[in-house]
Amino acid sequence: MIWMLLGVGLLFGALVGYHQFGQYMMKKYLSANAAPPATVTAMPITFQTWQPEIRAVGSLRAQQSVEISPQIAGQIKKVFVRSGQKVKKGTLLIELDHDSDDARLQALQADARLAEVNYKRNEAQLKARAISQSILDESLATMDRTQAAVAEQKALIAKKRLIAPFSGTLGIVSVHTGQYLNPAQVITTLQNTSSLFVDFHLPQKFLDGLSVGQGLQIHTDAWPNETFKGRISAVDAKVDENTRNLHIEGLLENPEDRLQPGMFVSVRVNQGDLTAYLTLPQTAIGYNAYGATVFVAKSVPDQSSKTPALTAQQVFVKTGATRGDQVAILDGLHEGDLVVTSGLMKLKNGTPLIIDNHVTPANDVAPTPEEK
């Protein structure tokens, strides 16, 4: 009986030992074949203050713009300006030959003086009852006609002197002395660019958030590192029936003439107060059929080291607006969470991580092109 109990005990001990040895070997096998750590970049997510805004594209337009052209035909007597010159209102730009017109003006003025003398003479004779009232009336009409002819001739001569209608900058002057001009032939342009309009369009859904005086930020690739400030000067009274967009007119100062009419610009319309958002580089976000995800670096105990190891944990997030390289995180993360920002393609839940931030992804709220 004793030997039987002893045999059963030895058999039971052998079975327990074999099971524990199997578990030990399995752990050793899994440890030897575990996924190697993935090297990634990571950063703690923090709050950043953003200005809520609407983005659009537009073009610049001069506050005053005109094509300089003659109303009547004639030969250029003298060109008083050059291309690109700044001129004041009333500056004589170009004068057409008007010598024959001046001669005719003198003749008409002589007729007008004679008609005035005859009228005054007839007026005195009527008082002496030497002539009838009809003769005086006829001499008055003659005087009025001759004076009108003088005024008409002066107006004709004035049309042969092309004057700047407002202060501004001339474009290319494409004519020269002696050239014959036809009516409405464009000689040059005149632009008042001390301030500029910016025209852009927005969908009708933004109508409730637009008002005259609202702030604008204008950017152009001609000055990539600068932001030009403006304001909404007018909102169209009608929505376009084809596009359902609304035409918005903005105004910005241009004292140094660095911006030119016709330039393509990007426009940002300020909306409300400054708002703080948790932000990440856009490279940190992964997208799939179920939504947007990020990988958070979680600390786990490491028996072989005093420093806790890091493993990847996939988390679903709700994203918001973007600004440059950044995207706002509306839900799913907390301030201070350590988030993987590059290397997502080689990660899955539980992947060991090694963080190397020597080269990090772009994370600029207003990126600009760089020459390499």
Give residue-wise pLDDT tens across range 185-203.
999 999 999 999 999 999 9
The span from the CA of 54 to the CA of 63, in Å, is 24
- Does the structure show a pLDDT above 60 at 340? yes
Name the token pair of 223. Answer: 């000055």
Average of per-residue pLDDT across 37-43: 91
The mean-pLDDT minimum among 93-102, 191-200, 202-211, 356-365 falls in 356-365
Cβ neighbors of 359 (< 8 A, separation 6 or more) are: 41
Cβ neighbors of 271 (< 8 A, separation 6 or more) are: 51, 52, 53, 54, 209
- Does the structure show a pLDDT above 50 at 372? no
For residue 366, the model assigns a pLDDT of 65
pLDDT bin (cut points 50, 70, 90) of residue 164 is very high
Give residue-wise pLDDT tens across range 304-318.
555 568 899 999 999
Cβ atoms of 56 and 202 within 8 Å: the answer is yes
- Does the structure show a pLDDT above 50 at 83? yes
For residue 17, the model assigns a pLDDT of 63
For residue 30, the model assigns a pLDDT of 45
For residue 50, the model assigns a pLDDT of 84
Average of per-residue pLDDT across 113-127: 90
Average of per-residue pLDDT across 284-309: 82
For residue 68, the model assigns a pLDDT of 95
- Does the structure show a pLDDT above 70 at 337? yes
Average of per-residue pLDDT across 176-185: 95
Cβ atoms of 321 and 23 within 8 Å: the answer is no
pLDDT bin (cut points 50, 70, 90) of residue 124 is confident
For residue 271, the model assigns a pLDDT of 81
Average of per-residue pLDDT across 27-55: 77
Which sign, positive or negative, has the C-alpha torsion 313, 317, 322, 327?
negative
Cβ atoms of 51 and 276 within 8 Å: the answer is no
Mean pLDDT, rounded, of the chain: 88
The span from the CA of 53 to the CA of 72, in Å, is 51
Q: Please give the C-alpha separations between residue 96 and each of 71, 101, 164, 181, 349, in angstroms, as whole numbers.
A: 11, 11, 15, 9, 84
- Does the structure show a pLDDT above 70 at 367? no
SS (H, E, C) 116-160: HHHHHHHHHHHHCCCCCHHHHHHHHHHHHHHHHHHHHHHHHHHCC
Which sign, positive or negative, has the C-alpha torsion 267, 272, 274, 279?
negative
pLDDT bin (cut points 50, 70, 90) of residue 303 is low
Catalogue all structural domains in the chain, each as residue range(s) with its CATH number: 36-51+275-355 (2.40.420.20), 54-63+192-270 (2.40.30.170), 98-159 (1.10.287)
Average of per-residue pLDDT across 257-275: 90
pTM over 0.85: no
